[in-house]
Structure 1
Amino acid sequence: MTSSHFSTLATPPCRQFEAWCGWFDPVFDVAPPTDGLSAGFEGEITVWSLGQAAIGRVRAPRLHALRGAHNIRREPVDHWNVVVGGRDTRLTRAGGAVTIPARTPFVVSLGEVMESEREADERLQLYLPRDHFACLAPILDRARGVPLNGAAGRLLAGYLHLLEHSLPELPPEDLPRLAEAIRAMVGACISPAVAGSELAAAQMGATQLEQVRQAIRRRLSSATLNAAALCREVGMSRSQLYRLLEGEGGVARYIQRLRLQASYTALSDVGDTRSVAVIAESCGFYDPSTFSRSFRREFGISPSDMRIASRAGAAPAAVFGPVMEAETRTLRSCLHGI
């Protein structure tokens, strides 16, 4: 199986950190090391695409990565990320900060604001797209930011290392079966690791949110998609729906955000030859001026400029471009490839 490899080792030391930031932009911002950059920033990343998922090995110096609201607006991908680090990780989310011990797996969602800090380290990161792993949404959302300790957590860490070591020898014909194996193993390991007295209620809320999300995705182009239509679609009362989406900014805002995310993905896809107007209508925007205004407010760029930048092979507001040994040139490209 082939992989994409990025390294700053061949980059002049004075530009190594800039190149590293270029790899992560716009998914993450990377804060400069507190001890300065005089020694450069030597790091390497190898990413394997698994068809419906991706796994990466990252070796880097001390690192402070941030995914803020502006990152989510510019790159609204909401994959889960299962991480196993060789050093402790200081993870900060809306619920507070926690220290994840070394060699202990943990889950984060790229759909939320967060930041992580750790010393020089080598770690594995398994990216699971929400659409491909929707059946695991209740346990993965419940596991966010929780150190997955115990036997189940150790088993998951061992599985990820075994998976990474086995990929170079994996025949291409085995790739279609790999996603199902990952789905089964991740589910089996994380379920007992996050078990607790409040798990049933948390799972129910996460399951309902996923049902609403899928219902919106199915009817994205519908001009009549509103709270009443969603209630009928998922069998939920209006008050239940409003309580469920209160933390998401409300029903209308949640629908619009999913529509804008879908339009962003389509406009970023160089293989999608539809016009901007057709893409807008497929995502439920039938007034071009409203679509353009909403898109620019959300992502800081107009739909037409987004289309032009994507076809030119450049992400908006791109920084120094790292040199890759394969066609994939940024983390953003890797995430859009699964």
Structure 2
Amino acid sequence: MENKSKSVELIEYSTLDFESQQQFDAFSQAAAPICDLKKPHSFNSGFRAKFSAFDLGGIDIIDWEVDPTNSERTNDQIKKTDLDNWAIWFVRSGCFYNEYNDRSVKAKTGDLMLVSHARPWKSRWEGQSFVSVGLDRDKFSWMAPSLDEANLSVLNGSLTGLLRTFISTLVDEAHKISEDQKQILSRSFSDLLAVSLDPTADNLRNATPALNASRLTIAREFIRKNLARPELNVDFICKSLGTSRRTLYSVFEEHGGVAKYIKTVRLQACYKALSDAADLRFVSTIAYQYGFTNMSLFSRQFKDQYGFSPKEAHDCRTADHVRLNTSSPTLLDHLCRSTSCIAPASDGANLTAPSLPEASTREYDEATMSKTTA
């Protein structure tokens, strides 16, 4: 998709720009409008903290990597600043603890915790990777009762996984977002958050584009990571991701169907390997690697796709037979095209991101597409 306007501004910050003895104090000063930081007991000389932030118009998204520390938002800070928004904390790795009065809540890897900055709190970060989504109180006043009710709680429900996928994709594709797309993405996130908190029929209808874009993101990633499995088909995907055939067919409609998408991705993976001069494997080995068990069928499908046989691609790997377009439409593509607005499945089934183990970022990424949601 070609963006005709400039990309959104990404604000970068890192304590590594300071001398090691100044790093904690520098980060404390940067965080001062929001909270007070307490120097961790394990602190010796350096303190690693960095973030990348961008604005979607009333929605501030910040991708953090921070050493473990404690923080506190006091009543004095609330009085001195006009920051009274809500924040969704998405824990990508580690743990996040929050306390208010006698209430203590823990968010582990993969969880989403909602926190109101209009109230005091104490928190402890034990991990390295978080995403915070700041919600302007004026922009989200229409769902204020639901947000206030969910304060200091871990969000759950069948649609929370799709909200998590949406946030992850926004962060991963931030450099692709144009100014023209901000309004669409802001509205899509708002609709998705609303249906996650209150899954009414109206909210489901409004959130359909965002829901289906997130479903497709999850399914495509699952397919990519399971190409080697011969049993990769509609039934296997539905069972693994806990969705219905109707829902899966719906989100892959614009790709010509699930089976066609799987075949295309497999053939692209084989072509890439066969044309790689550094890959010395046999044609049959590469075919089996990407889920083809019938060599005659593989050769026929490969030639139909590219106009020459797998052996020709393997023998003439230095030749540029065909220029592959291996890029897939992104979440941004689906949200910014009217064709993404397809009706939700009437059976109410949801293609949801799975429950997550306490794991490192890499383990979390691998687990995201391989387990079903509880």
Please give the TM-score of this superposition, normalised by the length of structure 1: 0.54
Determine if the alignment matches structure 1 residue 65 to structure 2 residue 75.
no
Deviation at 1:95, TM superposition (A): 5.2
**How far apart in 1 are the matches of 2:198 and 2:61?**
21
Match of 2:49 in 1: 43
Match of 2:100 in 1: 93
**How far apart in 2 are the matches of 1:77 and 1:94?**
21
**What's the CA shift string for 1:191-242, capped at 9, x where partnerless?**
259xxxxxxxxxxxxxxxxxxxxxxxxxxxxxxxxxxxxxxxxxxxxxxxxx
Determine if the alignment matches structure 1 residue 153 to structure 2 residue 160.
yes
Q: Secondary structure at the match of 1:26?
A: coil
**How far apart in 1 are the matches of 2:192 and 2:160?**
11
Superposition pairs for residues 1-338 of structure 1, below 5 Å?
1-36=8-43, 38-85=44-91, 86-94=93-101, 96-191=103-198
Q: Secondary structure at the match of 1:66?
A: strand
Q: Does the 8 Å CA contact 1:8/1:44 hold for their aligned counterparts? A: yes
**What's the CA shift string for 1:282-333, capped at 9, x where partnerless?**
xxxxxxxxxxxxxxxxxxxxxxxxxxxxxxxxxxxxxxxxxxxxxxxxxxxx
Question: Could you say if the C-alpha distance between residues 152 and 94 of structure 1 is closer, same or farther in structure 2, counting changes exceeding 3 Å?
Answer: farther
**How far apart in 2 are the matches of 1:177 and 1:120?**
32
Question: Could you say if the C-alpha distance between residues 151 and 87 of structure 1 is closer, same or farther in structure 2, counting changes exceeding 3 Å?
Answer: farther
**What's the CA shift string for 1:65-114, capped at 9, x where partnerless?**
11011111221311110110122211101351121222110110110000
**How far apart in 1 are the matches of 2:102 and 2:173?**
36
Match of 1:230 in 2: none
Please give the TM-score of this superposition, normalised by the length of structure 2: 0.49
Give the letter aligned to residue 50 of structure 1. L
Give the letter aligned to residue 78 of structure 2. I
Give the letter aligned to residue 197 of structure 2. I
Deviation at 1:119, TM superposition (A): 1.2
Q: Does the 8 Å CA contact 1:105/1:156 hold for their aligned counterparts? A: no
Deviation at 1:117, TM superposition (A): 0.5
Deviation at 1:120, TM superposition (A): 2.9
Give the letter aligned to residue 46 of structure 1. S
**How far apart in 2 are the matches of 1:26 and 1:55?**
16
**How far apart in 2 are the matches of 1:121 and 1:138?**
32
**How far apart in 2 are the matches of 1:84 and 1:120?**
12
Question: Could you say if the C-alpha distance between residues 181 and 88 of structure 1 is closer, same or farther in structure 2, counting changes exceeding 3 Å?
Answer: same
**How far apart in 1 are the matches of 2:23 and 2:89?**
24
Could you say what the CA RMSD is over the residues aligned between the two structures, in angstroms? 1.7
Match of 1:289 in 2: none
Larger relative CO (CA 8 A, sep 6+): 1 or 2? 1
**How far apart in 2 are the matches of 1:192 and 1:63?**
36
Deviation at 1:136, TM superposition (A): 1.3
Q: Secondary structure at the match of 2:187?
A: helix
> Which of the pair has more CA radius of gyration?
2
Give the letter aligned to residue 103 of structure 1. G
Q: Secondary structure at the match of 2:123?
A: strand
Question: Could you say if the C-alpha distance between residues 192 and 97 of structure 1 is closer, same or farther in structure 2, counting changes exceeding 3 Å?
Answer: farther
**How far apart in 1 are the matches of 2:61 and 2:90?**
11
Q: Does the 8 Å CA contact 2:95/2:127 hold for their aligned counterparts? A: no
**How far apart in 2 are the matches of 1:114 and 1:122?**
20
Q: Does the 8 Å CA contact 2:95/2:108 hold for their aligned counterparts? A: yes
**What's the CA shift string for 1:252-280, capped at 9, x where partnerless?**
xxxxxxxxxxxxxxxxxxxxxxxxxxxxx
Q: Identify unmatched segments of 5+ residues in structure 1.
A: 194-338
**How far apart in 1 are the matches of 2:172 and 2:179?**
16
Q: Secondary structure at the match of 2:137?
A: coil
Give the letter aligned to residue 148 of structure 1. L
